[in-house]
Amino acid sequence: MKKLLVIAVGLLSASSLFAGNNVVVSGTVAQVATLNVTTATFTTPDPVAGFTDQQVTTVTERCNSKLGYKVTLASLNAAATAQAYLKSVDAANTDKINYSIKYNGSAVTLVAGSATVTDVTAKTAGTGVTKNLQISIAAAGADYNADTYSDTITFTLTAK
């Protein structure tokens, strides 16, 4: 019994020699929450004739939050409505050309001019995830004034 006690005391004494000599190694990884939108300016082929699922751009989502992230898109013209549309910069021209949106192949439903198009609970791969934005315009004949029509779609990525 005494031998065991002496060994235990010896181990305690040896371990106390190293107390306070710890080295902490740490590093901080900065949060990455970015969107890269390519081919951001798009001219519709023929809004009068209409077209379906015309690719407008690609969007690369990149986020390293372990809780995931959310991407929303908003149509400037739609504002507080549920309908995206192209309009003239000429205030005297009140024609509107309605269009629909697909993001990564799924139809987008606007609520008050915006929609959540990605909502995930994990980070992306280091290079991100690339998705397509497509629009469709129904054929309308020659019912529109001769003019240039446009809309601006804004993407926002928010880390959780």
User: Of all residues in the chain, what percent carry a pLDDT higher than 70?
Assistant: 84
The answer to whether 87 and 151 have CB atoms below 8 angstroms apart is yes
Q: Which domains does the chain have, with CATH numbers?
A: 30-159 (2.60.40.1090)
Amino acid at 120: V
Helix/strand/coil for 7? helix
Locate the DSSP E strands across the chain. 33-38, 51-63, 69-75, 84-88, 96-103, 106-107, 114-120, 129-137, 149-150, 153-159
Give 82-93 pLDDT, tens digit per residue.
999 999 989 999
What is the model's pLDDT at position 47? 80
Task: Give the Å distances, CA to CA, from 7 to 2, 15, 18, 117.
Answer: 9, 12, 18, 66
Give 93-149 pLDDT, tens digit per residue.
999 999 999 999 999 999 999 999 999 999 999 999 999 999 999 887 678 899 999
Cα(46)–Cα(111) distance, integer angstroms: 27
From the CB of residue 155, how many other CB atoms can be counted at a distance below 10 Å?
19
DSSP per-residue letters across 12-38: HHHHHHTTT--------PPP-EEEEEE
Cα(112)–Cα(62) distance, integer angstroms: 26
